[in-house]
Amino acid sequence: MTAHYAIWHDAVFLVAAAPLIYYALATLAALRFFRRERARILADYTPPVSVLKPVRGVDFGSYENFASFCCQEYRDYEILFAVNDDGDAAVPVIRRIIAEFPERRIRLFVGAEHLGANRKVNKLARLAREARNEVLVLTDGDVRVGPRFLREVVAPLANRKTGAVTCFYRGIAQKNLGAEIEAVGASSDFFAGVLMAGWTEGITFALGASIATTKEWLGKIGGFQAIADTLADDYELGNRIAKTGGEVVLAREGVWTMYPAQTFRGFWDHQVRWARTVRLCRPLSYAGLLFTQGLPWALLAALVAPVKWIAGAYLLAYLVLRFAVAWTVGVWGVGDEVLRRRFWLVPLRDAIHFVIWLASFGSNRIRWGNLEYVIRQGRMVPVGGVERPVAKPAQDVPRS
C-alpha cells in the first residue's frame, strides 16, 4: 500500500513539472521569435491591396476601428465592407467613414449568397469576388490597426512560397472583469501556444483577427465556399493553405481587437464556444493542454506534498514561470496594455480556463449569436434551420 502511494505521489510531482517546463520553453520561444522579427528588414513589396471587412453590428470602438484602415501608409488599396442587411447598426458608421475619407476607395455591400452556415464566410466570398486586386487582407469588424499595418502584413507575400500572413492581437477592453480576463487569456496564454507551435512544428493555421493572402492561394484551396460551413474559418483557411504547400507567416505587426463588457452568461458562452472550436480543430493538441495548465497541477502537488517546502516550491515555481511567460509573450512581445495593467488576473484566468477546458468536452454544440449549431466533422449544422440570406446590390460606389 505504501509503495503504491509513493508511486502515485511521484507521478503527480512528475506531471506537475510538465507545465513549468512548458512555461520556460514558451518564454524562450517568445524571446527567439520577437528578437528575430524585430531585426528583420522587410521586403519593399507594396502591390495594390483589397481590404475585406465582413461586419456585423457595432461595438464601443467601431468608428475608430474602421477609420484606422483609412490612415495607412500605403499607396494603393481599397476597403470593402459587407453587412448582412441594410438595417445593420454598422451601416451608418460605414457611411460616415466614406464621407469623411473621400480620398479612399471604400465600398459597402449588403447581403451575400448563402454558401454555408458561417455568415462571415458568406460575406467574405462576396467581397473576394468584388475585390479588384490580387492581394487580399481579411480583418474582423472589431479590429484596429496602426498606420504601417498593410506594409507589414503584405511584405512577406513577396516570397511566392508564402501563402498567408497572420497577426497577433492586443486587447482594448472595457472596464469589465469578463472582458479583461478574455484579453489577458489571449495575450498571456493562447499566444504562448502559438509561438510554441511555430517553434516545434511550424505555423499551420491562421489567427482570425487578420489574414493576408492572395486570390491565387485562395483558389488553390477551393475559395471561401470550401470553408463556408466551418466554425473556425480562420484556422481552416490557414490550415488548408499550409496543406496546399503555402507557408503561413506570423507578422511582427500586431493589431488591436475589442473586448466589450459582458454578462457572466455571455462570458461563459463565448469562452466555451472558443474552447470547443479549438478542441474540434486540433483534438490531440487540445487534450494535451492539460499538461500546460500549471495552476491545477501546482495545487495538486502542494496538496499531496509530504513536506511544506515541496508544496511551497511548486506554488512558487508556478507563479514565477507563469508570470515570466505572460510578461515575455504578452507585454514585451505583443505589447498588450490590458495585460500590463491587469497582470494580477493571470492566476484567476488560469483557474477559470481549467474549468472551461473541462466544460468544453461536454458537448459538440455551440451558440453563435441567437443561433445554435452542432459541430459534425468540423462543420456547423444549424439546430432547427437557419435563414438563407441572398446577395443584394452594392451600396455606394468607390471614389477616386
In tens, the pLDDT along 10-64 reads 889 999 999 999 999 999 999 999 999 999 999 999 999 999 999 999 999 999 9
Average pLDDT over residues 80-101: 96
Average pLDDT, the chain: 91
28: its cell numbers: 524562450
pTM of the model: 0.89
pLDDT category at 311 given cuts 50, 70, 90 is very high
Share of the chain above pLDDT 70, in %: 92
Per-residue pLDDT at 88 exceeds 70 = yes
The predicted structure's pLDDT at residue 62: 96
- pLDDT at position 283 is 84
Distances (CA, A) of 237 to 130, 314, 344: 19, 40, 35
Q: Is the pLDDT of residue 89 over 80?
A: yes
C-alpha cell at 300: 495538486
Looking at residue 2, its pLDDT comes to 60
With cut-offs at 50, 70 and 90, classify the pLDDT of residue 211.
very high
CA distances from 230 to 116, 120, 382 (A): 8, 10, 12
pLDDT of residue 370: 67
Mean pLDDT of 67-82: 97
Take residue 384 and report the three cell numbers written for it.
432547427
- Residue 52 C-alpha cell reads as 475585406
Q: Say what the pLDDT of residue 377 is.
A: 65
Please give the sequence-ordered ranges of beta strands (E in DSSP) within the chain, or none if there are none.
49-54, 77-83, 105-110, 135-139, 143-144, 162-166, 169-173, 210-214, 247-250, 255-259, 365-368, 371-376, 379-382, 394-395
CATH topology classification for 35-263:
Spore Coat Polysaccharide Biosynthesis Protein SpsA; Chain A (3.90.550)
DSSP label at residue 306 = S
Strand partners for 287: none
CB neighbours of 123 closer than 8 A, spacing ≥ 6?
54, 82, 83, 84, 109, 112
Helix (H, G, I), strand (E, B) or coil at 61: coil
pLDDT given at position 396: 47
Name beta bridge partners: 381.
374
- By CB atoms closer than 10 A (0-12, 13-18, 19+), residue 47 is middle
What percentage of residues in the chain have a pLDDT greater than 90?
77
pLDDT in the model for residue 393 = 53
